[in-house]
Amino acid sequence: MTDITLPAEWEPQSGIQLTWPHADTDWNYMLDEVTACYISIAQAISQQERLLIVCKNAAEVTQQLSGANSRNLTLCEIPTNDTWARDHGGISIRHADGKLEVCDFCFNGWGLKFAADLDNQITRRMYGHHLFAPNVAYRNCLNFVLEGGSIESDGQGTILTTAECLLSANRNEQFSQDEIETRLHQFFGTKRVLWLHHGALQGDDTDSHVDTLARFCDANTIAYVQCRDTNDPHYGELKAMEDELKTFRTASGQPYRLLALPMADKVVIDEERLPATYANFLIMNNAVLVPTYGTSHDEDALNILSQAFPERKIIGINCVPLIRQHGSLHCITMQYPAGVIK
């Protein structure tokens, strides 16, 4: 289906989705702390572009967001299990004639690890609530398990992903790697898949989502997590991933421009190392939101990403509350290209 394009994250957007925490999510034991983090992120997004919030209680969230730009806010009450919009959110595609579709893939709690019966219905319920523009079509892809955090698109026919996730048990184990690659091309009109076979973070529940490890910044640039401490348990896998990235070539056959992001200092809570990663940034129309963790490498990460996105404002947001549930900033957001959100 060569008339289809999977837009890159840096292309013009109509808005960002958040799915708001509530007492029936896994955040219940730290709800006030994580809600404060969500408020910071929501305020930052709403100052830049439209923010669509899926929530349990719209009146309560509206009150919490008194400091946000209300003109850019749309709230919709939909039942949810949890809040990881990157993985239960719809994935948008564009046809050559300009037609837009929101693809609704099956979300099964990262390989049946967690309940996802409500989250798996969010995208079609959003469509039923007319949150998307009238000319945007709904595409049922529920016969295939796919999370938005598991793929990166350069907008020009290349997907970057990890074998650890896409080939894992309890997702699409009935398909071979070649069969999964074929389906990705059918869904997204892509021509190439770059498979990373190395790279993992302790505390990660996703089976190595690529958005925790390596990200397209433009069609020729990849930012990735680099570990320089040979005593760190991550060193071997991340060094092997770095070596793989050096072998990858752009569609025109050139080596990628590789920007090494620092490995965040160890964040340990209750004797558990948490998956702090600077690769989990969100690209918006005029800004890039970058997770920070109150460590010595925060400023380095912000400076490196300013090289990748010189025309965008780089905004750091403390995301320590988010990694308590093993995700970060990009994991809780989903962008929609221009023309998708009403």
- Determine which one of 37, 103, 227, 331 is catalytic: 331
Please name which of 88, 117, 108, 102 lies closest in space to residue 19, comparing C-alpha atoms: 88
Q: Which residues contact 13 (CB under 8 A, 6 or more apart)?
A: 49, 284, 285, 335, 336, 337, 338
d(CA 48, CA 160): 27
Please name which of 237, 231, 229 lies closest in space to residue 196, comparing C-alpha atoms: 237
Is 331 one of the annotated active-site residues of the chain?
yes
Residue 78's φ and ψ, nearest 5 degrees, are -140, 135
What burial letters (b/e) apply to 167-192, b meaning 16+ CB within 10 Å?
A: bbeebbeeeeeeebbebbbebbbbeb
d(CA 163, CA 209): 9
What burial letters (b/e) apply to 287-296, b meaning 16+ CB within 10 Å?
A: bbbbbbbebe
d(CA 246, CA 249): 8
Amino acid at 24: D
295-300 long-range contacts (CB < 8 A, ≥24 apart) are 295/264, 295/265, 295/267, 296/265, 297/262, 297/263, 297/264, 297/265, 300/262
d(CA 307, CA 288): 12
Q: What is the dihedral of CA 104, 160, 288, 220, to 10 degrees?
A: -140
Which residues are annotated as catalytic? 331
